[in-house]
Chains A and B, each alone.
Chain A
Amino acid sequence: METILQQVQGFMYPNEIELQWSILIVLYPFITGLVAGAFILASLEKVFRVEAVKPTYRLALLTALAFLLVAPLPLQLHLGHPERSLEMYLTPHTSSAMAMFGFVYLWYLMVVLVLEIWLDYREEIVLRARSSRGALRLLYRIMSLGVDNISPQSLKIDEKLARIITIIGVPSAFLLHGYVGFIFGSVKANPWWSTPLMPIVFLFSAMVSGIALVMLMYMVVSSWRRTGIDMRCLDTIARYLFYAFIIDFSLELLDLVHRIYEADESFKSLDFMVHTKLFTSQIVIQIVLGTLLPLGLLFLTQVARLSERARKTVYGTAGVLTMVGIFAMRWNVVIGGQLFSKSFLGYTTYKLDFATREGLLPAIVLMILPFVILALLVRLLPPWEPNDAGTKTTACP
């Protein structure tokens, strides 16, 4: 604390000097954003009947699940008393967006994601329950709820129900991540956060990051399995990434222009902060490298005729830059919102430790963990047929 004290510029209310929300709270919206984005990409196939993205349907769902399971962990690590977190279910304060999190999360996990995955995979689960042995067989039997029936009629009912769930799932995904934006956007005390645009900006940047993630994963996994990449699929995903990015960029630009134009009491202080303390993370990383560059690259693929190899390189680069940019966006919102004083007269610094409870190390571990879980899930419920290019039913026409 003493070191932070020495680095305070100007005046801050004494209790403001130490930041309240750390990198873990940056991680949380990033992770739930990936969940929402991956799910919406998956639902493109089911609900909007975009056939082209079918090869990524199951992979997107499993990715969403893996990340959703990890999502509460940064929050638990951050809480002063994680053992009391059940209180949010027992006595939720209905005026608090954070209280509603527990129920939205539970709803989304159980009713949307788990149900949808279960319905989609049920045939395979039963088949594997029949053909495997030992502990694995028990696991599959539990997953099938002890029901062995995979008649065409039952599968048809499953498919109908799955479609309904996906339709419910889309607004649920919006809610899952939109409320995170609302948690910030509804804090009138903080002008960096307080805007009605916040939930929408969060949501669209979530879609961008989620689509980019699935796109990258599809490319990586296909290259590992040495199966070909369905270029029609990849091109379609990239196109949706581009559209989502344009909307996201427009929204953030709108927020920026609005702030500069209205120039309210907080503007000078925030402007100074962006140009000094947030220069690297916001202007360089989020805007230039993380938004303008990938947008430009994707635009190129839409207007120019590039070879397959060139497109893959561009998509890969754009995807990585996008992920970095969206992470930077979360960082700039969460950390940026705490670097300036609510008196608009001063600034503090964020000291990121390494191996403490809220340090860089747990953050890195929490980012790797979903991939570990995903690897397990992919083992249990392969998103593709063995030796198949990677679709559930037929290959992409």
Chain B
Amino acid sequence: MSHFFKDTEHLLRMAGLFAAGVVGFVVLRAIFVPAGFGELGHFRTGALADNQSRPLVFAGREACEECHDEVVALRKGGAHAGVGCEACHGALAAHAGDPATVQARRPDPKATCLICHLPNAAKPTSFPQVDPSEHGDGQACTSCHRPHNPKVQ
């Protein structure tokens, strides 16, 4: 019987090595698996907060409406009532956060309008499209149209 153990000693030692490996793995896991992993699914819960904590670059129209009542009134019922402020004025979270120091820029009175209104066969036909060579005599669009309520009376 003792012969058996003598003849299998190398196997027992190898088995011991494997066992040590498994234990080592368990220890590694305990140390290195990040905190909060697996609570809500197979991911690190903190990743939700990571994704959530980016700074805002666009303010959102409600932020603009807090201060600019006169524009709100002007836009009411107009063709551009549904267009967000920053669609033309660009990203303004910085301005909304600190209106005194960060100025908003006035959009280009022609190029900005053409971004949407330049004719293109792929645009829906119901959408107003304007060929600048045939309309407006080369002037800026704002010569006749108020951007916040564009219909010419």
Contacts and interface: CB of A to CB of B under 8 A. Distances in A.
Contacts of A118: 14
Contacts of B25: 89
Interface stretch (A61-69, A149-157, A282-290, A325-333): A149-157
B10 A86 contact: no
Nearest to B30: A90
Chain A interface residue count: which class? 10 to 19
Contacts of B37: 91
B3 interface: yes
Interface stretch (A1-9, A140-148, A255-263, A304-312): A140-148
A115 interface: yes
B11 A153 contact: no
Contact of B8 (A89, A93, A154): A154
Given A86-B32, A145-B17, A153-B3, A93 B10 contact: no
Interface in A1-42: none
A177 interface: no
9 contacts: A89-B25, A90-B29, A93-B42, A110-B18, A122-B10, A149-B6, A153-B7, A154-B10, A157-B7
Contacts of B8: 154, 157
Contacts of B42: 91, 93
B10 A144 contact: yes
Contact of A147 (B9, B18, B29, B33): B9
Interface residues of B, number: 20
A120 to B, nearest CB: 13
Contacts of A293: none
B13 interface: yes
Contacts of A144: 10
A93 B7 CA distance: 42
A130 to B, nearest CB: 15
A84 to B, nearest CB: 10
A151 B13 contact: no
Contact of A91 (B6, B14, B18, B33): B33
A26 B17 CA distance: 35
Contacts of B28: 86, 89-90
A161 B3 contact: no
B interface, over-half SS: helix
Interface string A126-166: 00000000000000000011110101011001000100000
A93 B11 CA distance: 33
B6 A90 contact: no
Given A153-B7, A157-B7, A146 B33 contact: no
The 9 lowest CB-CB distance pairs between A and B, nearest first, are A154-B7, A147-B10, A145-B13, A153-B7, A90-B33, A147-B9, A93-B42, A90-B32, A90-B29
Interface of B: 3, 6-11, 13-14, 17-18, 21, 25, 28-29, 32-33, 37-38, 42
Nearest to A156: B7
B28 to A, nearest CB: 7
Contact of A145 (B7, B14, B29, B38): B14
Contacts of B17: 145
Given A90-B32, A91-B37, A91-B42, A146 B13 contact: yes
Contacts of B29: 89-90
Contacts of B38: 91
Interface string A64-108: 000000000000000000000010011101000000000000000
A161 B21 CA distance: 21
Contacts of A149: 6-7, 9-10
Contacts of B9: 147, 149
A153 B33 CA distance: 45
B148 to A, nearest CB: 34
Given A89-B25, A153-B3, A147 B13 contact: yes
A146 B18 CA distance: 16
Given A149-B10, A151-B6, A154-B10, 10 more contacts: A86-B28, A91-B33, A91-B38, A91-B42, A110-B18, A144-B10, A146-B13, A147-B10, A149-B6, A157-B11
Nearest to B44: A91
Nearest to A89: B25
A144 B10 CA distance: 8
A93 B37 CA distance: 12
B39 to A, nearest CB: 12
A93 B43 CA distance: 9
A372 B146 CA distance: 77
A149 to B, nearest CB: 6
B33 to A, nearest CB: 5
A89 B29 CA distance: 8
Contact of A115 (B13, B14, B32): B14
Contacts of A89: 25, 28-29
A258 to B, nearest CB: 35
A115 B21 CA distance: 15
A110 B22 CA distance: 12
A161 B12 CA distance: 13
